[in-house]
């Protein structure tokens, strides 16, 4: 039985790590957001693919939320001294990932194939798949104008006020073939949407028509884990963006956002009072501890999601 | 009064450093070989420009003959672990030079302009100029087939037997405008050919018709310093290549090679016995110590070359 997980970067990667701890890697397919991808310093950078890969390889830097642990920054210091762009920080080892990806793409590999090769080198056994092999770019409309995702998120530190989001290229981009295969597998048991930012990280994935249709027609429970706990985002600008988009930062808003696509929503015990409200939307709701700290809490949340999926499948 | 110097990498850079020690930087224009340039890991690498720049900035690694002093190699180790190409070693700081060059070229700068900007960052005050802003690639015909320069020189460590050399692109490449300006300057006092490898490093420069013509018509003494001392090359494969091309590795062969282009040849005291032979070719000859060790011997050689130039100009 296979599990297909949709994920962005840091928050999503935590839950994926929980799945990796509790389930055989051969059962796990992770479709990653590539709307954050961009070409920087002539290198193809895929932040969410890399955060997933580094997290699953146990080499992610837990303090920064990006990059590799024990990283050095000789390159960045030298580049800065030469007047080069230094707003997006690339560690000396991290660059090797992007240079190797460049080599693989230049030699004709798809992003899926390049990702598979990189994951093998990092001894990541579960299947990390880009949502598409074609470019899809998240563009953020803000009070400072339209910003490419990394300009908004890294260069401007998510400070500008967001009025809208769009995903350039998603009208024509096809799903990566292995992403579609994961969503239509005969042995598919559940589709899991991680507590990544719904607007910045999950919507780009669902903006690809083939993926949205495959999730909607999965024929198995589709379960999201709320990124909002007690009205706040545990990390990142989710709550801030919700307010800027005129939404209440609540589990109810998350349920409404995913209403067309999910069968169940997992919310934190802090939000237990919202259970009836959510179920009134026609979405089943499970309450558990969703705050992931150590590996045990990550695995327990993964197991709670799958327990909920079994319950929904049996219903 | 200005001096125009033609140079390849390490050996040439030593004499250029001697000129930089003895003469005001505003008087010195160095035209560098770019036949070794190649795109590696999607980065534009210019080995001779960089060796000149690093040497003149005092940051060249004296032990390796390439790269920067005090360099770390985290990137290369990580790239190797990912299955990437590791036969051409790029240090963590060195990559910044190539990435910055990529940024400058991508933003529309010529190689001349990019070089000027990099030199400014490295506080190199004299004018380092690529021979051309268009690609010219040294191709080495060997007993292992045709090899791109870096494949021959670095990957195969100059081991294959050389039968011929050609410079792809030199038929159509124009000289860099500032290279031509340096060779046709009103205040030009001398043209100096450094003791770089004549076949691998100087011939690519002279393969550009505009440069060869400008040197031939310079109207000032053109002086080469022999890279052969006592029948041997002090460094690199010059003597080996001469033998493979059917030439005696002697100062006489060097004189014959440059016969059409030079007025004078500076040879080492070890070769003093060849003076009459060389002058019989119609080339004036000066004998001095050409083995450069510390900065004093470099400056003294530069001064000897310029003394010889004055003597020829007065004759």
Pick from B138, B110, B263, B150: nearest CA to B206: B138
Q: Do the chains contact at A103 and B92, CB–CB below 8 Å?
A: no
Quote the pLDDT of residue B39: 94
B188 Cβ contact partners less than 8 Å away, ≥ 6 residues apart: B1, B2, B3, B4, B182, B218, B219, B220
d(CA B211, CA B132): 9
Q: Going along chain B, which residue ranges are E strands?
A: 2-7, 28-32, 38-40, 43-45, 127-130, 137-142, 145-148, 162-168, 188-193, 222-225, 228-229, 232-233, 264-268, 284-288
Q: Do the chains contact at A83 and B43, CB–CB below 8 Å?
A: no
Whether chain B has a CB inside 8 Å of the CB on A66: the answer is no
Pairing of strands B28-32, B127-130: parallel
pLDDT band, residue B236 (cuts 50/70/90): confident
Q: What is the DSSP letter of A136?
A: -
Span B239-262, pLDDT tens digits: 999 999 999 999 999 999 999 999
Span B210-222, pLDDT tens digits: 999 999 999 999 9
Locus of tokens 């080339």:
B283
Residue B65 has pLDDT above 90, yes or no: no
Quote the pLDDT of residue A234: 78
Instruction: Look at phi and psi of residue A277 and say left if phi exceeds 0, alpha if psi is from -120 to 50, else beta.
Output: alpha
d(CA A133, CA A190): 24
Span B25-63, pLDDT tens digits: 999 999 999 999 999 999 999 999 999 999 999 999 988
d(CA A36, CA A57): 21
d(CA A201, CA B241): 59
> What is the number of residues in chain B?
315
Quote the pLDDT of residue B64: 87
Quote ipTM for the complex: 0.90
**Does the residue A120 lie in any domain?**
no
Contacts of A43 in chain B (CB under 8 A): 42
Whether chain A has a CB inside 8 Å of the CB on B87: the answer is no
In contact, B199 and B228? CB cutoff 8 Å = no
Span A97-125, pLDDT tens digits: 999 999 999 999 999 999 999 999 999 99
What is the model's pTM? 0.92
What is the SS3 assignment for B241?
Answer: helix
Q: Exposure string (b/e) for A153-180, b if CB count within 10 Å is 16 or more?
A: bbeeebebebeebbbebbeebebbebbb
Span B90-143, pLDDT tens digits: 999 999 999 999 999 999 999 999 999 999 999 999 999 999 999 999 999 999
Taking CA atoms, what residue in A is nearest to B122?
Answer: A82
In contact, B220 and B313? CB cutoff 8 Å = yes
Contacts of B77 in chain A (CB under 8 A): 93
Q: Which residues of chain A have pLDDT under 50?
A: none
d(CA B167, CA B140): 9
Q: What is the mean pLDDT of residues B217-233?
A: 95
Pick from A88, A65, A237: nearest CA to A162: A237
Whether chain B has a CB inside 8 Å of the CB on A161: the answer is no
Pick from A285, A256, A257, A282: nearest CA to A272: A285
Cα radius of gyration rounded to whole Å, chain A: 19
Locus of tokens 């240090």:
B91
Nearest by CB: A74 against B42, B72, B77: B72
Quote the pLDDT of residue A315: 83
Domain range for B220 is 2-314
Instruction: Look at phi and psi of residue A108 and say left if phi exceeds 0, alpha if psi is from -120 to 50, else beta.
Output: left
**Does the residue A149 lie in any domain?**
yes
The CATH number given to whatever domain includes residue A287 is 3.40.50.10680
**Structural domain tally of chain B?**
1
Q: Do the chains contact at A121 and B79, CB–CB below 8 Å?
A: no
pLDDT band, residue B80 (cuts 50/70/90): very high
What is the distance in angstroms between the Cα of B226 and the nearest Cα belonging to chain A? 35
C-alpha torsion angle, residues A91, A30, A170, A259 (rounded to 10): -120
Pick from B306, B265, B299: nearest CA to B16: B299
Nearest by CB: B84 against A78, A85, A96: A96
d(CA B315, CA A197): 81
Residue A65, beta-bridge partner list? none
Q: Do the chains contact at A102 and B42, CB–CB below 8 Å?
A: yes
Quote the pLDDT of residue B212: 98
Span B148-197, pLDDT tens digits: 999 999 999 999 999 999 999 999 999 999 999 999 999 999 999 999 99
Quote the pLDDT of residue B128: 98
Q: Do the chains contact at A78 and B72, CB–CB below 8 Å?
A: no
pLDDT band, residue B235 (cuts 50/70/90): confident
Contacts of B97 in chain A (CB under 8 A): 78, 82
Span B119-133, pLDDT tens digits: 999 999 999 999 999
Q: Exposure string (b/e) for B95-105, b if CB count within 10 Å is 16 or more?
A: bbbbbbbbbbb
d(CA A310, CA B18): 79
């Amino acid at each position: 039985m296979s599990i297909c997980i949709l994920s962005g970067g840091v928050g999503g990667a935590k839950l994926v790590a929980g799945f990796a701890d509790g389930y055989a890697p051969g059962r796990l397919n992770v479709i990653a957001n590539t709307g954050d991808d961009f070409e920087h310093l002539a290198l193809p950078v895929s932040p969410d693919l890399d955060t997933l890969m580094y997290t699953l390889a146990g080499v992610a830097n837990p303090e920064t939320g990006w990059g590799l642990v024990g990283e050095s920054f000789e390159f960045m210091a030298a580049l800065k001294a030469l007047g080069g762009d230094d707003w997006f920080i690339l560690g000396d080892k991290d660059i090797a990932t992007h240079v190797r990806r460049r080599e693989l793409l230049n030699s004709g590999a798809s992003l899926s194939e390049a990702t598979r090769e990189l994951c093998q080198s990092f001894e990541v056994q579960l299947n990390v798949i880009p949502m598409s092999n074609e470019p899809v770019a998240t563009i953020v409309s803000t009070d400072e104008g339209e910003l490419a995702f990394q300009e908004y998120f890294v260069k401007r530190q998510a400070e500008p006020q967001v009025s809208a989001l769009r995903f350039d290229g998603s009208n024509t981009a096809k799903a990566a073939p292995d992403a579609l295969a994961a969503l239509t597998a005969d042995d598919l048991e559940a589709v899991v949407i991680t507590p990544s930012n719904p607007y910045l990280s999950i919507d780009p994935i669902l903006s690809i028509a083939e993926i949205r249709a495959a999730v909607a027609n999965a024929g198995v429970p589709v379960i999201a884990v709320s990124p909002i706990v007690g009205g706040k985002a545990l990390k990142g600008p989710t709550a801030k963006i919700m307010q800027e988009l005129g939404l209440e930062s609540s589990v109810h808003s998350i349920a409404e956002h995913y209403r067309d696509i999910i069968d169940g929503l997992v919310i934190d015990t802090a939000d237990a009072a919202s259970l009836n409200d959510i179920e009134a939307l026609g979405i089943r709701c499970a309450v558990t501890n969703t705050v992931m700290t150590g590996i045990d809490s990550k695995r327990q949340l993964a197991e709670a999601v799958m327990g909920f999926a079994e319950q929904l499948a049996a219903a």
